Amino acid sequence: MLSSKGALFSKRPGNVTSKSHMWGGAKVSSDSRSVFRCQAVVPAVKPNASAPAVTPEVAKDLYYDMVLGREFEDMCAQMYYRGKMFGFVHLYCGQEAVSSGIIRALESRDYACSTYRDHVHALSKGVPAREVMAELFGKKTGCCRGQGGSMHMFSAKNNFLGGYAFIGEGIPIGLGAAFQSKYKCDVLGEGNDYAVTASFFGDGTCNVGQFYECLNMASLYKLPHIFVVENNKWAIGMSHARATSSSSGDQDPLIYRKGPAFGMPGVLVDGMDVLKVREVALEAIARARSGGGPTLIECETYRFRGHSLADPDELRSKDEKAAYAARDPIPQLKQYMLETSMATESDIKDIERRVMEVVDDSVKFADESPKPERGQLLENVFPDPRGFGIADGGRYRYELPGFSSGTAAVS
C-alpha cells in the first residue's frame, strides 16, 4: 500500500506490466463524446499522509472478509478430497483483495454477479458461510437448496445474482440488474440514486462476445454497472498473452484499455492490494450511483491454486507462483494494520479465531444438514407450477398425487 515499503512492490514476473496503477482517466466532460484518457496517478495513500486511507473498522472488516475467504476455500479443498463435495469446484485463494475490496464497498441494496469462482464473492456479499458450505455439500439447507452447487450460488436476500457456469453469461444478467436500478429510479420514481451492480469475471471472458455487447449497452444507456475483470493471467491452461491480442497499439493485451474504447473509464489496479482495489471501487460506485455510468476495472491478481480442484496446474511456472505468493493480500493488510496501529496482534488473532469458528461451524452445519428429499425434484422448475400443464383427466399436473413427492410424471 505505502510506496515506501519497497518489499511490497518488489519485481514482478515477466509478463506483468510494470504500470500497476494506471487510471483510464475519469474525465466526464460535458461533451457527450467524452474522451477517456489513460494517465498514471500516484498511489492513493501518500507515504507520509496523516490520514489513513481507511478507518480501523473498515480495515478490520476487510481483513476478516479476506481471511474468511481464504480459510473457507482451503476448507473446501479439504472437504473435496474427503469426498464431501463433488464436481467442478473453483477456488479463489489469492484473489481475496478483489472480492473484499469491491464488494465490501457496496451497500446491501447493491448487486453482485459472479462466475463459477463464486464462493468468496457470495461470502463477501453477506451470504452466510453455513449456507454456502451446505450448498457445496448438496444439502437442502444450502442457499440454493442443494440445487445449484459450487458454480451456482444465488442469494436473493443478499442481492447476490448468481454464479454462472458459462463464462460471460452472468455479465448480461448483472447489466439487467443495473437496467432495473435505473428503471426503478427514472421510470418508477423510487429513490434518489441508483443501486449499483458489480459483475465479476476473468481475463478469458474478455474475449467472449457477450462482454463486448454489454460494454456497449452499459455505456449507451449509462447504466450503473461496474465491470470487474479479475485478470489472473490464466484461463485454465491458456495464458492471457496467448489468448488475447494486444489492442490500441499497446505491447501487451491490456483489458482496461477496452473501457475507453467503449465509452467508459478503464482502470488497472493492483488486485493484490485490497486498499487500492477499494479506492478504485469507491470511485466507480460513486460514478455509477450518481448516473455517471459504468466503469471497467481490471484487477491484476492471481489464483494460488489451479483453475479447479481437478486442474493439475502444470503450466504455470514456479517463479510466477512464488512472486505472487510474496504479494499475498492478507499478510499485506495485516502488516499495514500493525504498522499504522489500526489493529494489534491480539485483534488480528481474534479475527482469525472468529473466522475459524465460522468456517468450522459451517462444516458442522453442512455435515449435519439433511439431504434434499425426492419431493424437491419438481418444486422449483416453474414459479407457477401450472407450467407443467394439464394432465389427462383435467387436473393440472402439479395437483396430481406424486407431484410433491417428486414422483409424478410431468411430461
Partner 1 sequence: MLLQRHGSSAKCMSSRHSRQSLMSSRRGSLSVTRSQKKQIMMWEALREAIDEEMEKDPTVCVMGEDVGHYGGSYKVTFGLYKKYGDMRVLDTPICENGFMGMGIGAAMTGLRPIVEGMNMGFLLLAFNQISNNCGMLHYTSGGQYKTPVVIRGPGGVGRQLGAEHSQRLESYFQSIPGVQLVACSTVANSKALLKSAIRSENPIIFFEHVLLYNIKGDAGGPDVYQSLESAELVREGTDVSIFTYSRMRYVVMQAAQELEKKGYNPEVIDLISLKPFDMDTISKSVRKTRRVIIVEECMKTGGIGASLSAVINESLFNDLDHEVVRLSSQDVPTAYAYELEAATIVQPSQVVEAVERVVGSKLAYV
Structure letter (DSSP) for residue 70: H
Which residue matches cell numbers 489500526? 342
From residue 215, alpha-carbon distances to 78, 111, 265, 266 in Å are: 38, 18, 11, 11
Window 305-364: residues binding partner 1 (CB under 8 A) = none
Site string for partner 1, 191-210 (x = CB under 8 A): ------------------xx
CB of 405 to partner 1, least distance (A): 17
Asked whether position 142 contacts partner 1 by CB under 8 A, the answer is yes
Stretch that binds partner 1, among 119-127, 166-174, 246-254, 399-407 (CB under 8 A): 166-174
Residue 166, interface with partner 1 (CB under 8 A)? Answer: yes
The three grid cell numbers given for residue 31, joined into one nine-digit string: 461533451
Handedness of CA 84, 87, 93, 98 (dihedral sign): negative
Give dist(CA 190, CA 321) in Å, integer: 48
Examine residue 183 and tell whether it contacts partner 1 (CB under 8 A): yes
- List 229, 284, 397, 404, residue binding partner 1 (CB under 8 A): 397
Whichever of 86 and 166 has its CB closer to partner 1, that residue is 166
Please state the closest distance from residue 94 (CB atom) to partner 1, in A.
27
Among 101, 138, 162, 259, binds partner 1 (CB under 8 A): 162
Q: Which residues have CB under 8 Å from 94's CB, separation 6+?
A: 232, 272, 301, 302, 303, 304, 305, 324, 328, 329
Of 372, 381, 329, 379, residue with least CA distance to 62: 329
Q: How far is the CB of 78 from partner 1 (least distance, A)?
A: 25
Copy the grid coordinates of residue 37. Answer: 484518457
Q: Could you tell me the three cell numbers for 339?
A: 504498522
Polymer length in residues for the chain: 411
**Apex CA 114: angle with CA 253 and CA 68, to 5°?**
105
Closest separation in Å from C-beta 266 to partner 1: 19
Shortest separation between residue 388's beta carbon and partner 1, angstroms: 6
Least Å distance between CB 160 and partner 1?
9
Q: Which residues pair with 264 in a beta bridge?
A: none
Span interacting with partner 1, options 164-172, 260-268, 314-322, 334-342, rule CB under 8 A: 164-172
The yes or no reply on residue 176 touching partner 1 (CB under 8 A) is: yes
Mask 78-117, x = binds partner 1 (CB under 8 A)?
---------------------------------x-x----
Applying CB under 8 A, the site for partner 1 has a residue count of 64
The minimum distance between CB 373 and partner 1, in angstroms, equals 14
DSSP 245-260: ---TT-SS--STTHHH
* Binding test (CB under 8 A) with partner 1, winner from 27, 371, 382, 402: 382
Helices (H), 187-273: 209-220, 240-243, 258-261
Q: What are phi and psi of 228, to 5 degrees?
A: -110, 110
**Residue 267: φ, ψ to 5°:** -135, 140
Q: Note whether 152 binds partner 1 by CB under 8 A.
A: yes
401 touching partner 1, by CB under 8 A: no
CB of 204 to partner 1, least distance (A): 16
Q: Which of 83, 312, 383, 401 binds partner 1 (CB under 8 A)?
A: 383
Rounded-to-integer distance, Cα 365 and Cα 133, Å: 8
Residue from 318, 104, 319 nearest 198 by CA = 104
Residues found near partner 1 in the complex (CB under 8 A): 111, 113, 142-149, 152, 154-156, 161-162, 164-166, 169, 171-184, 186-188, 209-210, 213-214, 216-217, 220-221, 379-384, 386-394, 396-397, 410-411
